[in-house]
């Protein structure tokens, strides 16, 4: 069996334990510095990254050792039970696929936490209900991934559903996974809000942004922003509606407006809003660069409402189809319960082969 340092994945990447070991050594050296905990946010980030890399290296070492044991067992035809061997092999293959996925995360912010926003689009109360369904779907997916989810801002619909919601999703590679969900999601179903039982089409926009911190990689000048405070109206618990704790920030040069209100403290809401603004400004600059490259190649198309990335059809038939990768399934309820990995895997491989879509 060849060394796993030289085993290439299908996408052309490979796992390099020596490089990862060097990165761990750098992290440990930083953690040993006397002033390491002076900046607690930075210290926490480095500590978490170091722990994650150690876990990743351990998992690959364990996979390599178990593979060698199974290989030796396979060469001894009388030393193993075929059913038991197949079970062990399938389990080993499952572990390899999960670890191989890490090789697809090659972009700068893939290992970061994610700011995930859902906005109801056209379709009235149906669209707001659809946004609520998506919120539940992503909540289930994040539970499966063992990520911490915090609602930073939520605007509820008057009759049902939500107008918009902003989530902080904390976990390694959260952005790497959830960036596959960035775009317009379309729902076709018999509306539960239509007395005549007619079929309706609803839209929701999902934004997946890397959490780059409060202006850490984006310079936000104080003269370029206007900060307004107001009384929160969300589910902040007792006391949240009695003070002007909600914060709205307007970035004057771009017109981008962000707000957060679900924290009790005005300072906490301001920090969350600044993180969201920094992420949106970063995304805007990246989209401008991408659009310019696509124009030069003659393949630019605006990311408008009509350009949905995925359709969820509940009537007259059941199907979820991703329009970028053509991956589809009839198990609609499984998808709405958080089974998103087939779509995410396909999208990551598509990006690896064709670049961002």
The angle subtended at Cα 234 by Cα 229 and Cα 237, nearest 5°, is: 105
Q: Which 8-state DSSP code applies to residue 201? A: E
- The strands making up 114-120's β-sheet, listed across from edge to edge, are 148-156, 162-170, 114-120, 199-210, 183-190, 310-313, 319-322, 328-329
How many other CB atoms are found less than 10 A from the CB of residue 216?
A: 14
Interatomic CA distance for residues 244 and 167, integer angstroms: 21
Compute the radius of gyration of the chain from its Cα atoms. Answer: 23
Q: Which one of 1.20.1060, 1.10.10, 1.20.58, 1.10.1760 gives the CATH number of domain 4-104?
A: 1.20.58
The pLDDT of residue 6: 36
The residue with greater pLDDT, 95 or 168, is 168
Query: Among candidates 194, 207, 206, which has minimal Cα distance to 160?
Result: 194
Dihedral pair phi/psi, residue 121, rounded to 5°:
-105, -145
CA dihedral 352, 331, 145, 3 (to 10 degrees): -50
For residue 151, give the 3-state DSSP assignment: strand
Average pLDDT of every residue of the chain: 83
Same CATH fold assignment for domains 114-211+313-354 and 222-297: no
- Distance between start and end Cα atoms, the chain: 37
Interatomic CA distance for residues 299 and 307, integer angstroms: 14
Dihedral pair phi/psi, residue 150, rounded to 5°:
-125, 130
pLDDT at 240 over 60: no
Q: Quote the strand ranges of 171-282, DSSP E.
A: 183-190, 199-210, 225-230, 246-251, 256-260
Q: Where are the domains of the chain?
A: 4-104, 114-211+313-354, 222-297
* Tens digits of residue pLDDT in 255-314: 999 999 988 789 999 989 999 999 999 888 888 777 665 555 454 444 445 678 999 999
The pLDDT of residue 342: 94
The pLDDT of residue 201: 92
* Tens digits of residue pLDDT in 13-65: 456 677 778 888 988 899 999 888 888 777 877 887 788 788 878 888 888 88
Q: Which one of 3.40.50.300, 1.10.150.120, 3.30.70.1660, 3.30.1490.20 gives the CATH number of domain 114-211+313-354?
A: 3.30.70.1660
CATH number at 222-297: 3.30.160.20
Q: Residue 227's pLDDT band (boundaries 50, 70, 90)?
A: very high
pLDDT at 107 over 60: yes
* 203, 113 Cβ separation under 8 angstroms: no
Helix (H) or strand (E) holding 163: strand 162-170
């Amino acid at each position: 069996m060849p060394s796993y340092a030289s085993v290439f994945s299908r996408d052309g990447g490979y796992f390099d334990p020596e490089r990862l070991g060097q990165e761990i050594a750098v992290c440990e050296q930083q953690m040993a510095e006397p002033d390491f905990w002076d900046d607690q946010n930075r210290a926490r980030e480095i500590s978490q990254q170091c722990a994650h890399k150690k876990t990743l290296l351990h998992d690959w070492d364990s996979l390599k050792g178990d593979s060698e044991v199974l290989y030796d067992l396979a060469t001894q035809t009388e030393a193993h039970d075929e059913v038991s061997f197949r079970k062990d092999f399938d389990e080993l293959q499952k572990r390899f696929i999960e670890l191989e996925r890490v090789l697809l995360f090659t972009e700068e912010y893939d290992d970061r936490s994610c700011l995930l926003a859902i906005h109801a689009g056209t379709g009235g109360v149906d669209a707001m209900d659809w946004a609520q369904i998506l919120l539940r779907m992503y909540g289930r997916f994040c539970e499966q991934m063992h990520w911490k989810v915090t609602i930073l801002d939520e605007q509820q619909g008057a009759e049902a559903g939500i107008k918009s919601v902003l989530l902080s999703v904390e976990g390694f590679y959260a952005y790497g996974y959830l960036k596959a969900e960035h775009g317009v999601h379309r729902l076709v179903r018999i509306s539960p809000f239509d007395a005549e039982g007619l079929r309706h089409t609803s839209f929701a926009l999902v934004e997946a942004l890397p959490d780059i911190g409060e202006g850490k990689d984006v310079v936000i000048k104080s003269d370029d922003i206007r900060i307004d405070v107001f009384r929160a109206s969300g589910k902040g618990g007792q006391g949240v509606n009695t003070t002007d704790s909600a914060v709205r920030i307007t970035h004057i040069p771009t017109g981008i407006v962000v707000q957060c209100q679900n924290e009790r403290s005005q300072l906490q809401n301001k920090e969350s809003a600044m993180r969201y603004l920094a992420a949106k400004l970063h995304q805007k600059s990246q989209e401008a660069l991408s659009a310019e490259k696509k124009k030069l190649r003659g393949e630019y198309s605006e990311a408008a409402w009509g350009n949905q990335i995925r359709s969820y059809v509940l009537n007259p038939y059941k199907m979820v189809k991703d329009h970028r990768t053509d991956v589809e399934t009839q198990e609609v309820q499984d998808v709405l319960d958080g089974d998103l990995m087939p779509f995410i895997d396909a999208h990551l491989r598509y990006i690896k082969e064709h670049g961002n879509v």
